[in-house]
Amino acid sequence: MKLIVLLVTALAGVVSSRKLPDFVHKCKISDPEIGNCIAENINNLRSRFAKGIPELGVPPAEPLLIPKAELKSPNPDGLRANFYDIHVYNPSSFEIKKLNVDPKGNTIDVHVYIPYLHITAKYEMNGKILILQLKGSGPGEVNITNIDSKVGYKLSQHEKNGKQYYQLERVSQELNYKVTKLGFKNLFEGRDDLTESTNQVLNENIDEVMKEFKPVVDDTVKAVVDGIVFRVFDRFSINELFDN
């Protein structure tokens, strides 16, 4: 399974010298509560993510766009699927529950909760799931609730436009969520009745079905969480965000 997420294109941008807006404030590196300060900054941006933040060059996050994802079962007869033009709705409903920073160890641990995501995509699918042989292409959708993610990032510095920025690399993640609905149109070309009954079977056995779809759903949700955390660090230099 491989997921290609162009976060640099979708989320990052070139940042010129600017004054911090009123809803983002500097955090003191020496402050033992620096994690709370960073979390507050990210949560303050939350309500503005949906429509974008023009003064920061942040594009609208509703929907969040992911170019494509791939699912390939290790089983020769297993499911293979490609997903394109992925739209993620409601990512701006997130909440940073907790954020811990270890300046000496250059690590950040973030606890993010998202109550609900609705994801649509175009798909191409071929293979067996449960006892069903699937082969089709068309629009698909998935509903996910209670996304609870605890992520560990390693911090490093890089230079951009003569300024130093923090770069985050995900090194660990605990992820829990519940898929409440899957739906695929045109699973059997020209047989809407068979497509409908197959979707019903998939949803009646959704826990078993998710054993196949879990890798691609996991990576899509991870991309959403990364995008939430990366936005602040992509947009502001270290000197703009922090006081020594």
More confidently predicted of 7 and 76: 76
pLDDT at 193: 92
Whole-number Å distance between alpha carbons of 147 and 11: 21
- Are 10 and 63 within 8 A, CB to CB? no
* Mean pLDDT, rounded, for 93-116: 91
Q: What is the mean pLDDT of the chain?
A: 85
* Three-state SS at 184: strand
CATH number for domain 2-12+20-243, candidates 2.40.50.100, 3.15.10.30, 3.30.365.10, 3.90.420.10: 3.15.10.30
pLDDT at 19: 63
> Within a 10 A sphere around the Cβ of 28, how many other Cβ atoms?
12
Q: 73: phi > 0 → left, psi -120 to 50 → alpha, else beta; which? A: beta
- pTM of this structure: 0.85
And the tokens for 182? 């899957």
Whole-number Å distance between alpha carbons of 98 and 110: 6
Query: Residue 13 pLDDT more than 50?
Result: no
Query: Residue 14 pLDDT more than 60?
Result: no
Domain spans in the chain, listed from the N-terminal domain onward: 2-12+20-243
Tens-digit pLDDT profile for residues 40-60:
888 888 888 888 877 766 778
Tens-digit pLDDT profile for residues 198-228:
999 999 999 999 988 999 999 999 988 888 8
- What percent of the chain has pLDDT above 70? 91
